[in-house]
């Protein structure tokens, strides 16, 4: 989707985020489709009014042309439950639907936070394998226009232990890892990517980093600062960790 990208060329989306709307939820709920490694965007050669234009170069965010989308990656399963990744499961389910029920709403966020939402028909889903791992792919056809959402800047970030904000933490060596979640303000900030670091990994180590948080493990007696820095705006939040 980068400006000047040739029509139909694949994009490595490891730094992107692709979400699918869970229409069974009571409130609007977006579920990230995990395990994706590549996305290919195709653009039709006709504009909305039917006039022919070149499709040699793809517009950054197509709005008034028909298009296709191909997502590729690997099937992910929960190691303890055996359940498939929720986002992949929802995407698979649309491939079995017909008519309006097969209209999936997809949200694509690029590494800079630009967000595009569009409706797509999942025309095909396929699982396979290569020499090293299992693979999965989904073919989608764009329905109507896509919408480019306004960019929402991050104004602040906070760290939470459960529902409570946390800035200090006391632990002992041998304690279970403490799970910390990250709260962005505003909650609909376009780019919610972050980096997390520790000032002393011999005291407090960070791990299990996900889209929404991370864990802290006490590794030795002393003090350390665990800091989260947002990619957008470089906003920071810190937990002062003391390990007995």
Peptide bond into 26 cis (omega under 30): no
| Domains of the chain as residue ranges with CATH | 10-149 (4.10.410), 156-243 (2.60.40.1080)
> CA-CA distance, 92 to 69, in Å (whole number)?
15
Contact 224, 206 (CB under 8 A): no
> CA-CA distance, 224 to 178, in Å (whole number)?
14
E strand or H helix that includes residue 157: strand 156-161
Lowest mean pLDDT among 146-150, 151-155, 167-171, 240-244: 146-150
Could you give the count of Cα atoms lying within 13 Å of 32 in the half-sphere of its Cβ? 14
pLDDT digits (tens, 9 = 90+) for 1-32: 344 344 556 677 777 889 999 988 888 888 99
Contact 180, 171 (CB under 8 A): no
* pLDDT at residue 98 greater than cutoff 80: no
Kindly list the strands in the beta sheet with 236-243, ordered across the sheet, starting from the edge strand earlier in the chain.
168-171, 236-243, 222-230, 194-198
Q: Is the pTM of this model over 0.85?
A: no
* pLDDT at residue 165 greater than cutoff 80: yes
């Amino acid at each position: 989707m980068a400006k000047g990208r040739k029509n139909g060329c694949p994009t490595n989306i490891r730094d992107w985020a692709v979400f699918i709307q869970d229409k069974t939820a009571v409130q609007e709920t977006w579920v990230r489709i995990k395990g994706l490694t590549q996305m290919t965007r195709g653009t039709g050669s006709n504009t909305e009014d039917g006039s022919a234009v070149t499709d040699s170069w793809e517009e950054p965010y197509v709005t008034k042309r028909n298009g296709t989308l191909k997502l590729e990656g690997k099937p992910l399963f929960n190691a303890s439950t055996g359940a498939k990744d929720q986002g992949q499961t929802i995407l698979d389910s649309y491939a079995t639907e017909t008519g309006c029920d097969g209209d999936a709403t997809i949200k694509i966020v690029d590494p800079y936070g630009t967000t595009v939402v569009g409706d797509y028909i999942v025309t095909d889903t396929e699982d396979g394998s290569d020499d090293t791992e299992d693979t999965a792919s989904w073919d989608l056809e764009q329905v109507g226009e896509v919408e480019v959402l306004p960019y929402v800047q991050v104004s602040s970030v906070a760290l939470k232990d459960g529902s409570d904000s946390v800035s200090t933490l006391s632990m002992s060596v041998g304690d279970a890892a403490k799970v910390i979640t990250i709260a962005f303000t505003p909650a609909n900030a376009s780019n919610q990517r972050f980096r997390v670091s520790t000032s002393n990994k011999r005291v407090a180590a960070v791990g299990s980093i996900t889209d929404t948080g991370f864990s802290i493990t006490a590794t030795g007696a002393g003090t350390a600062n665990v800091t989260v820095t947002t990619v957008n705006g470089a906003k920071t939040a810190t937990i002062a960790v003391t390990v007995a």
